[in-house]
Amino acid sequence: MPIIAFQGRPGAYSDLVCRQARPVWETLPCSSFSAAIEAVHDGRADEALLACENSLAGRVPEIHALLPNAGLHIVGEHFHRVEHCLLVVPGTPIEAIRAVHTHPVALGQIRNLLAELDVEGVPQFDTAGAAEMVAQWQRPGDAAVASSLAGELNGLEILRRNVEDAAHNTTRFYRVAPQPDWPDPSHDGTLTTLLMRVGNKPGALYAALGGFARYGVNMTRLESYMLGGSFAATQFLMDIEGHPEQDNVRLALKELTQVSDDLKLLGIYPRSLARV
C-alpha cells in the first residue's frame, strides 16, 4: 500500500488531510517536517504532506527553509478548514475543566473559549499529542483542543466542535514527491511554484517581476526571506497561475532568468478546487 508522510502525531490535522488527499494510502506520522521529507528520500513513504501557510498564522517558516534543498517536487496543493474540537475524558462535565492543552498556534485561535471557561491554556508540541496526553492522564480537569480524528483515535469525548475564534481558519498544504508530475499544458487550472534570488539593489525586484505583468501572468503568492543571515540578497518563493509550457508563462520566465539568480521550479501541479 502506498504511504504518505506528515508532521505530527496520529490524528493531527495533517493526518486528516492525508486521509482526504490519498484516501486509500497509509499515513506515516513524523516528528518534524524534515523527518517527513527524509521518509520520502529513504523510501519509507511515497509522498509527504507539508503545511505551508495558514489564513490566521501566515506562512510556515520552516517549510521555506526546507523546500529549496529538499530535492522533492510539489505535485499538489490541498486546503483544510481547521475545526478545533474541545476533547475530554468521557463523562467529564465542562465545568470540571481547569486546563486546556494544545499547540501554541491553536492556543492563539481559541482565546474566546479560554476566556469563557476562565481556564489556563497550556502549550504542547502538537494538537494530536495533547489529545494523547489527556487520554493517558484520565484527569477530568485536563482537556485538549485538537481534531475530531484525534479525539476518535484516543477515545476522547467531543464536548464542543468549532471552538476556534475565526471561521476562516484554513491551512494550505503542499503535497511533495520524489518525481515531478506535471499536468498537461492545456489544463487551465495549473499552478507553478518558483524560487529565485535577487540582489539587494534598487529596482531588482521590479525587474524580476515585470515580465509577469507584461505577459499577463497572475501571481497568487509572493514570500521573501533572507539567506543565511545575510542582508545582501533576498530569496523569493512565488506561486503563479499557468504552466511553463504555455506561451505567456514561458516568455515571463525567460525574462525572469535574465534578471534573477538561481531560479528553481519547485513544482507544477493542478490548482485545488477548494481555492477561491
Q: What residues are annotated to the active site?
A: 171, 173
Which residues partner with 169 through β-bridges? none
> Minimal CA–CA distance to 27: which of 15, 37, 43?
15
Distance in angstroms (rounded) separating the CA atoms of residues 214 and 226: 27
Write out the H or E segment, with its range, that includes residue 196: strand 190-199
Cell of 201: 539593489
Contacts of residue 173, defined as CB under 8 A and 6 or more positions apart, other chains included, come to 14, 17, 21, 49, 50, 51, 52, 77, 78, 79, 80
* DSSP secondary structure letter of residue 166: -
Amino acid at 160: R
Helices (H), the chain: 13-21, 33-41, 61-66, 104-107, 111-117, 127-137, 148-153, 204-214, 247-259
Distance in angstroms (rounded) separating the CA atoms of residues 190 and 248: 13
